[in-house]
């Protein structure tokens, strides 16, 4: 009885979801984290591997529009969900958030940048004119070891302006 239960827990599960606007169906082990499905199984390497304990935000993705650490999210939890990675942020043209990060120098080495941009996308989707406190709260789950965050906050403010211009 116990061995059958363990076998069921280890068995692959079918996962159907939407990733970057495309329907995806694949079998994943029950204990596989979303981070590794995205990177290893689907080749979406913009989502970065870093702390693997949910502290740095380098692996941030949007699940149904909300930022989540993909290193802490089991793939099966995304059944029927809409997932957006950094690769899914831009459309035909660069997203205003990405443009703002370029213009304002909101990055140094760039490793944390995808997670930052994903978090900002989540913020601006629900609050197109955030206060400084809103920006700080939205980025509180993202660590950058290279900057003093000044360029990042300026990038968010610039993205707000660019978003208004492009709509």
Residues 84 and 9 in one domain: yes
Residues 56 and 81 in one domain: yes
pLDDT by residue for the chain (167 residues), tens only, comes to: 444 444 444 567 789 999 999 999 999 998 999 999 999 999 999 999 999 999 999 999 999 999 999 999 999 999 999 999 999 998 888 999 999 999 999 988 889 999 999 999 999 999 999 999 999 999 999 999 887 688 999 999 999 999 876 54
- pTM for the predicted model, two decimal places: 0.89
Q: Which residue has the tokens 């609050």?
A: 127
> Which distant-in-sequence residues (6+ apart) come within 8 Å of 97 by Cβ?
89, 117, 120, 121, 124, 155, 156, 159, 162, 163
Segments forming the whole domain that contains residue 39: 2-88
Q: Which of 27, 59, 88 is the last residue of a domain?
A: 88
Closest CA to 96 of 165, 145, 7: 165
Q: Which of 88, 108, 139 is the last residue of a domain?
A: 88
Q: Which of 67, 88, 109 is the last residue of a domain?
A: 88
Domain with residue 146: its CATH number is 1.10.150.120
């Amino acid at each position: 009885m116990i061995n059958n239960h363990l076998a069921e827990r280890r068995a692959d599960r079918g996962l159907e979801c939407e990733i970057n606007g495309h329907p995806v169906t694949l079998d994943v082990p029950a204990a596989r984290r979303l981070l590794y499905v995205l990177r290893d199984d689907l080749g979406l390497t913009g989502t970065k591997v870093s702390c693997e304990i949910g502290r740095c935000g380098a692996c941030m993705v949007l699940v149904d529009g909300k930022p989540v650490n993909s290193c802490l999210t089991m793939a099966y939890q995304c059944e029927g969900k809409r997932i957006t990675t950094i690769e899914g942020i831009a459309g035909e043209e660069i997203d205003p958030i990405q443009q703002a990060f370029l213009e304002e120098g909101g990055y140094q080495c760039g490793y944390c940048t995808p997670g930052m941009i994903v978090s900002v996308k989540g913020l601006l989707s629900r609050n197109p004119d955030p206060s400084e406190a809103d920006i700080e709260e939205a980025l509180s789950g993202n660590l950058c070891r290279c900057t003093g965050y000044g360029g990042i906050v300026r990038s968010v403010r610039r993205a707000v302006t660019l978003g208004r211009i492009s709509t």
